[in-house]
Structure formats: C-alpha cells, structure tokens
C-alpha cells in the first residue's frame, strides 16, 4: 500500500474557500496598516520626548499624530484579534449540554454580533461624514479619520463574523509564534 502526500479533500465549499481568501487579503492589508501605525506612533512619541527634553520645544502635531495612530491600532486591530481568537473572554460553555447544537448556537451569537458591529459601523460612518470638515488642532487632517477607522474596523469585524454565520464554526486559528 502506498501513501500519498496530498492533503485530504477540504470539507469547505468553494464559496467558503473564496471568502477565506478575501478575508485573508483584508487581514494582510489591515495588518500592514497596523504595522505602519505602530511605527508612526512609536517614532512620534520618541521624537516628541526628544524635542521636549533635549531641545526644550514641542512638536505642533506631536499630540494629534500619536492619538490618531493609537486609535487606528485599537479599532483596526479588533478584527485581527477576533480572527486569532485573542480577545479576553469569559465563556459559558453551553455546548457541554447534550441538547445544544454548537453550530446553531454559534450562528445565533453571530447574528447578534453582526447587528452590533453593523450598527457601530453605521454610526461610525455617519460621524465620519459629520466631522470630516473639522480639522485637528495640530495637524491639517480631518477629525473624521477617527470615525473612519471605527467604521472600517467594524465592517472588517462583520466579515469575520460572517464566516461564523456561514460555517457555524468559531475561529480556531492561533497567533503566529
């Protein structure tokens, strides 16, 4: 008997595999944005400390840039933490009960999460539109950028929850080591 090195056929449909590719692409783009935002945050804070203590001066934009970068890291990082199941959570494991259908329970929770994320994305988008003409005091950038990050992060979270709704399975991927 010969053994083959081919992986077993996937149980997932073509739609789920395509959805996963789109989700992975979105995760990679957001991941790169987060890397840049963290680099900007760290370098701006170091530069601001240098200006204040070594040059006895401060940067005019030294408060707005780190604030924007920090908020972007938090709001855009939520879906990535969701993907890797890295959120702090408290579980009430109803799936241990013999009469509970785990995929059905996951889909039920996913519906509520989609509603919550969708409402937050909607209001984030509306707030972005309302504040786009207001500028940050030290930076010539609209305040609406804060709400844009909120809306994008919540739509991205909806994509991750949509996968649970389709498959009935929670994310099982772990953070890379």
pLDDT of 39 reads 96
pLDDT of 38 reads 95
pLDDT of 153 reads 94
* 149 C-beta neighbours (distance < 10 Å), count: 22
Which of 23, 14, 67, 21 has its CA nearest to residue 45? Answer: 67
* 137 C-beta neighbours (distance < 10 Å), count: 10
pLDDT digit of tens for each residue in the chain (177 aa)?
444 444 444 566 788 888 889 999 999 999 999 999 999 999 999 999 998 888 888 888 888 899 999 999 999 999 988 887 777 665 666 666 677 778 888 888 889 999 999 999 999 999 999 999 999 888 888 999 999 999 999 999 999 999 888 888 877 765 555
Domains of the chain, by residue range, sit at 14-167
DSSP 95: G
């Amino acid at each position: 008997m010969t053994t083959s090195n081919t992986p077993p056929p996937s149980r997932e449909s073509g739609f789920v595999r395509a959805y996963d590719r789109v989700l992975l692409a979105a995760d990679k783009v957001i991941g790169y944005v987060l890397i840049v935002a963290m680099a900007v945050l760290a370098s701006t804070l170091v530069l601001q400390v240098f200006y204040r203590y070594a040059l006895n001066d401060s940067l005019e934009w030294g408060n707005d840039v780190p604030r924007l970068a920090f908020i972007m890291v938090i709001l855009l990082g939520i879906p990535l933490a969701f993907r890797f199941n890295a959120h702090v959570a408290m579980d009430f494991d109803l799936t241990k009960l013999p009469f509970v259908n785990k995929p059905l329970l996951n889909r039920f929770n996913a519906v509520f999460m989609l509603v919550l994320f969708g409402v937050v994305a909607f209001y984030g988008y509306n707030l972005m539109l309302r504040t786009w003409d207001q500028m940050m005091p030290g930076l010539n950038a609209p305040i609406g950028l804060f709400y844009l990050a909120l809306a994008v992060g919540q739509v991205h979270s909806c994509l991750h929850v949509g996968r649970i709704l389709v498959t009935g399975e929670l994310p099982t991927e772990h953070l890379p080591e």
